[in-house]
Structure 1
Amino acid sequence: MKTTIENHDGRLRLRWRYHGKRYTLACGVADSAIGRGLARQKASQIEVDVATGHFDHTLLKYKPRILGKTPTELSAPVLFERYTQAMAKEKGLSLGLW
């Protein structure tokens, strides 16, 4: 399996085929010497994972992470509470107990 590095509108992406399916992954970097080095590292990681049977079909393992932010999982009740608080604040309402 060969992973290719492509310039797509000035940004780098990786493309490869695995088990008959075509995969594309945006590297999140500009096409520069440093960007190409990072893309080569990511391509190597994917090729090693395929060879060792550890390939992540969801591609989450390979997607670039945004520095300073970590994904947070919220439960439905917590999300709803935050929503109602935001809507109340936006409309100038106070949330009292029923």
Structure 2
Amino acid sequence: MPAPTVPADAIALLARTGPRNIINYLVKHPGSYYGEIREATVTAVSSLTRDLRLLESIGVIRTDVEQPIGARRGRAPRYTVDVDRIDALIGELRAQLLG
């Protein structure tokens, strides 16, 4: 699945239950590892991997690993929500809706 374009596809991604559950968990538990997120959200491996990649591609979550997503072999990133980015996306949606 290609990375969503900002902001319309990004807003659509944030409206989905899986990504929202991930964000909600990470807001309460910043710096969590993949396994912790999976256990807490009870998400299938394939769905969690996809959603984390998409959320990272639109800048909503950040990791402590500097390598790009496909080059992280042997690395276990910790994930954190970028609240400012979420606020910016919501602001863009608000501007589009209200002019």
Structure with greater contact order relative to length (CA < 8 Å, sep ≥ 6): 2
Structure number with larger C-alpha Rg? 1
- TM normalised by structure 1 equals 0.23
Q: Higher strand fraction: Structure 1 or Structure 2? A: 1
TM-score, normalised to structure 2, is 0.23
Whose helix proportion is higher, 1 or 2?
Answer: 2
